[in-house]
Structure 1
Amino acid sequence: MKTTMEFALKLFKLLLGSFLCAVLLISAACSSKEDRKQSYFDRGMELYSQGNYTKARLEFKNVLQIDPKDADAYYMFGLLEEKEENWRKAFSLFFRAVELKPEHQDAQVHLGTIYVLAGETEKALEAAEAVLKITPDHSEALVLRGFALTKSGESNAAIEDVLSAFSIDPSNVEAASLLSALYADRGELDRAIRFASDSLQQHRDRVASYLLLARLHAKANDDKAVVQVLTDLIQSNPNELQHRLHLVSYYKEKGNAKLAKTVLKQAVKDLPDSEDAKLALVSYLKSNKDVVGAESLLSEYVAQNQDNQTFKIELAKHHISLNRQVEALQVLSDVINQADLSTDGLMARTLKASLLVKEGSTQEASQLIEEVLEADPKYKDALLVRAGIALVSDDPDRGIADLRTLLREDPGHVKAHRLKARSHLKKGEVELARQSLEDAVKAQPQETATNFELVQLLIQTGEFDDAEVVLQKMRRFAPKEISVLRGLGIVYLKQKNWSELL
């Protein structure tokens, strides 16, 4: 009996020990998991504050791999996409953050701002109210509500909200900017300029403050003041090319080509290592129809920088724009030989392949594209070219597969949607073709060629009422487009709508 009791006691102690060990191990694992997640997040925030957005993105990705429901990580991802103006991705990420954590005030404000920009003022107001219920004096939420009210035509209520935000946080740049714009819309330009000027004095590092003040001076027809503000912006950071381009744009708008060109030439001189400055000057010459000058300058840059493939690729694109296929192919072949499978080499191969397809040399083009996709399976332009080759080679299924890969990476790629539509038509899949074209229109609602391609499909399939709806929308953004009027004429004829034809 005693032996049995002793055995039972030992077994109980053993099981208890095992249980406690298991609990401790689980606890340690959970603790370790949380510690790792927090470490990744903290590192991501540090990198974000340093402006190292690429590495910050990796840290926040690590957070989400550990915890796919971390709202803060989604929010930070959204900020990164917002900085790159990837609004569709930013919206999805802010939406997910709010979905996981409705009380996430910063995510609500950013989500609401995108809603306003998209014309969804009611949803923007809902986002603002969600924050103000928690924090009634949240200055950014007040600005958001003011912004939404402005878009809804309620300027007096908007001014009240923005003034409240400004009194809570006098350093709020968005409040000062919106208030200035509201006063300007009411014709109180002097008051608007005063607010914008005061805001700039407090935020000399804020580019938007310079641009706002410049716009207000332009509205007041004070050219001298506009030039002074934009010159001050350049002097605030002389190494930033974009600041100079703002002044160039203003001179172009005023029709002063000589001064615009002078600013660009000075940029090339002041920023000798900047490829973008040189290319901006070339682009400006082209936009002013100085094709000879642009080509001469590009050739000069190529001669001075034999190892720089960027200028060669631009020269090839220049030749392509003038239908000089032989010259373009020669330059691209040179880049391929020198750049191998670097970024420039992949771009040159893809451009050369697209030219070869037009010449009917699909076999050589395919070989180049395979080299690109072996190096980078998600290279968008190469996937697009291979899909085009598949279409002309009567292999639409392969093309559709490539285009789906591309569209997963870039859902707003209009050319991919249009090519996918043609591939579906090749297979007789009319509904899928229509869906692809409608997706393309959603991505770029005012792109005339895409809308008209959809109209043509609708007419061919007898969907005349739907075709008319698209054409009427087109009239609003392209009222002088002859093809729109011609399309409406065809639709009315098919509908036997004689009153509209007369």
Structure 2
Amino acid sequence: MKKPNPRPVYFLMLIVSLLTGCSGPEDRVALHLSKGDAFYAEQDFQKARVEFKNVLQIDPNHVEGRFRLAETLEKLGETSNAVNQYKSVIGLQGDHGGALLRMAELYFAANHLEGTRELLTKIPPGDERSSARYEFLLAAVDAREDRLQPALQRVEQLLASYPTDGNATLLAASLYEKDQRPETAVALLQDFLRQQPDHHQIRAILSGLLLKQGDTQSAIDHYRRIVEAKPEATDIRITLARLYAGTEQVAAAEALLREGAVEEQTQELGKTDMRLALVTFLHDRKGFNHAAEELQQMISVAPEEANLVLALGELHERADNREQAKKIYLDAIETFALKPAEASARNRLAALLVREGKLEAALTELEAILNANGADRAALMMRASIANSQQRHGDAIADYRALLKDAPNDHVVLRLLAETHRLNGEPLLARDTWGNALIAQPRDAGLKAEFARALLAMDDPNGAEHQLLQAVTLDNDNPALVQSLAEVQISQKKWSAARETLSQLMELTPQSPLPFYLLGSVELAEQQHQAALEMFQQSLAIAPSAVEPLERAVKLLAAQKEFAQALTLTDVALADNADNAIAHHLRGTLLQALERIPEAVAAFEQASAINPRWPLPYLGLAETLRVNGETQRATVRLQQALDATDKNPLILTTLADWLEKDGRRSDALAVMKTAYEAQPQSLVIANNFAMMSITHDLQPADSTTLMAIAEQLRSSANPAFVDTAAWIEAHTGSPEKAIALLKPLVTAHPDSAEFLYHLGISEKLAGNNQAAREHLTRALALNQQFRGRDAAREILEQL
């Protein structure tokens, strides 16, 4: 056979080449544009990019070439580069409708609504401004800004012109649902599907709406149609399986998942969703053994599927088989060395080690990951969390900043960085970082609420209120946000604003006792006792054994001598919950006031039996016995309570006070010494121990201990504690130091006989007899009872 002569083809290519070479720049640009468009239409975006870049090499200012390159880069997933190209197009031609519209869409996707509107206003009259995309975006911005009716009006007008526009239909359905018209939303979607039955996204949204309305079977039918048409729709298949399982069609659910799992095995490496969904289903329905056996079988068929191997480790973790999980992760690290799965296995292993408290071992794994890839998000996040737990906030800050290099608007990382700055004592940096997080997510009500909590921790309730007001504006149906706002307003004593917010909370949660209790607290703060009582009683009508309103109501009624009514409230509370220790305790205090001693004793005993570690019932019981003349029994009961309450400081100080009053000073001091040794950081205990020791000259504490206590107390805001510190100085040979502490106290509290007495004694010890005489005279002239009164009189006579 005669071979074909290749020369005609060669000459044809040569001629084309020569023609191209001889043509001008405009012709070459047109040729590359044409070829780029052809490749784009064939979805060969790599070759399309080359052609459009060729256009720009010839003419860097070619607007359409740059615009088409931007579109191509988007198709290749290079959104950041595409945005830069769109911006360049707008820089070259400020009224380029296509670039302006696409940038507006990207701004909207990033939740930058102000920027979206600004770009839309710049689009000139023409095809883009009259397009469905333009009108849809205007409606979508209105919807995102909670301008429900304008959004509905726009989208309905859009649907009148474009009845088969899927995006407009979806937006309209979501707006109808938000407008409490779910039936209208369902009807709209059903009408759309009659015209376009293959629009699977619309069908999936319709299924979700039908589920919300309780029409599970119709939802199942729609999901089944999607799976039949698109068997590769993994998420829909999994949702359908869950619905089958939820309606006790367990066999159908398992069969659907198994079918998907088998199909998935023939697809590319890394697709494991169906197989893992089957494993989860088996675990939930048949237990760990069935799931593990199935998963091991899958791994034997596809040992290269790292997701399956790691899932087996996670399965063992859930079963608390930690050592087996570790072995699986360690094997995976070796099997998948130098592959992305190695980092995943190390991250899983590190997380498990953290849960076991083995932080150094976890850090070793994280370092191995970051040595290979310093930008690994999971490893950096975990290492930062560990650093914060170890108070190494600077290291955590460095890791969070490293994460932000690749994603500067990551609001999750920004939030964590802001909180770390706060923990590191950098409130200004914390505020700035929170601000950046809110710029990234300006309409995230939850993020604003978190910022409010951080501001409260930084002692800025006004800033917290501002953030919560914005959060409530964005999400005014969220009871938790409204409650937080009310509580901040109450803490600032903004009673009028708090009332308004609590009224909103009552509308949102009419069956909750909390808003009535909070409003009662507002009324009580404004001395509106009757109004407060009514609110507390309304709260109790909803929750009869709720502790806070019960306490407040009982105390108000007791103050009005309405003991019978108060007792009724405790009776109702105990009928609702017989193990309510606080109700028993309140009942005991009321019965004590009514001098019904045996009943009061029984109530206190019942309260302490329910909550043996709570000190108040023991104190109430002992006080009742003491008032009844049973002093010895009361003291013994408090001594018995010490073990039950783990030497509670309130029990200890009360017992010591009673022993001192009964003349048993050595016993009292021994109790206080025990209390101090158990809780040396308690200022109340340290103060009482030192004062009792010095006053009675019993000296159970050496001067070193007393001086340590003085150091604790001298900087306190409590003047009584500062007085004790001065008294210690006077009794340990430093009367001048005592005088320096006491003079400001006496100036601030000129009517305190005890402060004057201590200053007078300190002056005497310092040799200042005239000053001592003056202060002791003033102390006695006040005619107050204080420790050392008799001694003051004797010393004054000597002077």
TM-score, normalised to structure 1's length? 0.68
Question: 1:451 Cα shift?
Answer: 5.7
What SS is found at the alignment partner of 1:462? Answer: coil
Aligned partner (choices 95, 102, 105) of residue 103 of structure 1: 95
Partner of 1:211: 204
What SS is found at the alignment partner of 1:333? Answer: helix
Contact 2:292–2:315, Cα closer than 8 Å, also in 1: yes
Cα separation, partners in 2 of 1:498 and 1:327, compared to 1, 3 Å: farther
Question: 1:340 Cα shift?
Answer: 0.9
Aligned partner (choices 257, 281, 295) of residue 264 of structure 1: 257
Contact 1:298–1:315, Cα closer than 8 Å, also in 2: yes
Cα separation, partners in 2 of 1:225 and 1:157, compared to 1, 3 Å: same
Partner of 2:312: 315
Query: Which one is further off, 261-270 or 299-308?
Result: 299-308
What amino acid maps onto 1:235 in structure 2?
E
What SS is found at the alignment partner of 2:404? Answer: helix
Separation in 1 of the partners of 2:454 and 2:158? 48
What amino acid maps onto 1:335 in structure 2?
A
What amino acid maps onto 1:310 in structure 2?
N
Q: C-alpha offsets along residues 243-284 of structure 1, whole Å, 9 cap, x if unaligned?
A: 4235346657x7566354543233224434452111123345
Aligned partner (choices 243, 247, 265) of residue 240 of structure 2: 247
Contact 2:383–2:396, Cα closer than 8 Å, also in 1: yes
Separation in 2 of the partners of 1:319 and 1:63? 55
Separation in 1 of the partners of 2:120 and 2:486? 43
Contact 2:393–2:424, Cα closer than 8 Å, also in 1: yes
What amino acid maps onto 1:138 in structure 2?
S
Structure 1 residue 73 corresponds to structure 2 residue 69? yes
Q: C-alpha offsets along residues 59-111 of structure 1, whole Å, 9 cap, x if unaligned?
A: 699789976994443444445559xxx8x998888667656644343343344
Separation in 2 of the partners of 1:59 and 1:387? 42
Separation in 1 of the partners of 2:485 and 2:319? 31
Contact 1:143–1:165, Cα closer than 8 Å, also in 2: no
Separation in 2 of the partners of 1:468 and 1:289? 50
Question: 1:459 Cα shift?
Answer: 1.8
Question: 1:419 Cα shift?
Answer: 3.9
Contact 2:172–2:185, Cα closer than 8 Å, also in 1: no
Cα separation, partners in 2 of 1:460 and 1:396, compared to 1, 3 Å: closer
Task: Give me the CA root mean square deviation.
Answer: 5.0
Larger Rg: 2
| Equivalent residue runs for 1:350-369 within 5 Å | 350-357=347-354, 359=356, 361-369=358-366
Structure 1 residue 326 corresponds to structure 2 residue 342? no
What amino acid maps onto 1:326 in structure 2?
E
Separation in 1 of the partners of 2:75 and 2:241? 30
What amino acid maps onto 2:225 in structure 1?
D
What amino acid maps onto 1:197 in structure 2?
R
Separation in 1 of the partners of 2:308 and 2:259? 19
Partner of 1:237: 230
Separation in 2 of the partners of 1:369 and 1:176? 47
Contact 1:295–1:318, Cα closer than 8 Å, also in 2: yes
Question: 1:441 Cα shift?
Answer: 5.6
Separation in 2 of the partners of 1:320 and 1:58? 47
Cα separation, partners in 2 of 1:494 and 1:131, compared to 1, 3 Å: closer
Separation in 2 of the partners of 1:414 and 1:188? 33
Q: C-alpha offsets along residues 180-200 of structure 1, whole Å, 9 cap, x if unaligned?
A: 888996949657533432133
Partner of 1:153: 149
Question: 1:333 Cα shift?
Answer: 0.8
Contact 2:29–2:55, Cα closer than 8 Å, also in 1: no
Query: Which one is further off, 110-119 or 63-72?
Result: 63-72
Contact 2:469–2:485, Cα closer than 8 Å, also in 1: no
| Equivalent residue runs for 1:431-450 within 5 Å | 431-440=428-437
| Equivalent residue runs for 1:90-169 within 5 Å | 98=90, 101-113=93-105, 127=119, 130-131=122-123, 133-135=125-127, 137-145=130-138, 152-154=148-150, 155-165=152-162
Contact 1:112–1:127, Cα closer than 8 Å, also in 2: yes
Question: How many residues are aligned here?
Answer: 455
Structure 1 residue 469 corresponds to structure 2 residue 442? no
Partner of 1:13: none
Cα separation, partners in 2 of 1:207 and 1:89, compared to 1, 3 Å: farther
What SS is found at the alignment partner of 2:149? Answer: coil
What amino acid maps onto 2:353 in structure 1?
L
Contact 2:227–2:237, Cα closer than 8 Å, also in 1: yes
Contact 1:268–1:278, Cα closer than 8 Å, also in 2: yes
What amino acid maps onto 2:231 in structure 1?
P
Query: Which one is further off, 119-128 or 414-423?
Result: 119-128
Partner of 2:369: 372
What amino acid maps onto 1:263 in structure 2?
L
Structure 1 residue 383 corresponds to structure 2 residue 383? no
Contact 1:142–1:162, Cα closer than 8 Å, also in 2: no
Partner of 2:425: 428
What SS is found at the alignment partner of 1:133? Answer: coil
TM-score, normalised to structure 2's length? 0.46
Separation in 2 of the partners of 1:282 and 1:226? 24
Structure 1 residue 338 corresponds to structure 2 residue 335? yes
5+ residue gaps, structure 1: 1-27
Separation in 2 of the partners of 1:210 and 1:438? 40
Aligned partner (choices 400, 419, 424) of residue 403 of structure 1: 400
What SS is found at the alignment partner of 2:196? Answer: helix
Q: Which has the higher contact order (CA 8 A, sep 6+)?
A: 1
What amino acid maps onto 1:242 in structure 2?
D
Question: 1:342 Cα shift?
Answer: 0.6
Partner of 1:275: 272
Contact 1:75–1:97, Cα closer than 8 Å, also in 2: no
Q: Percent identity?
A: 20
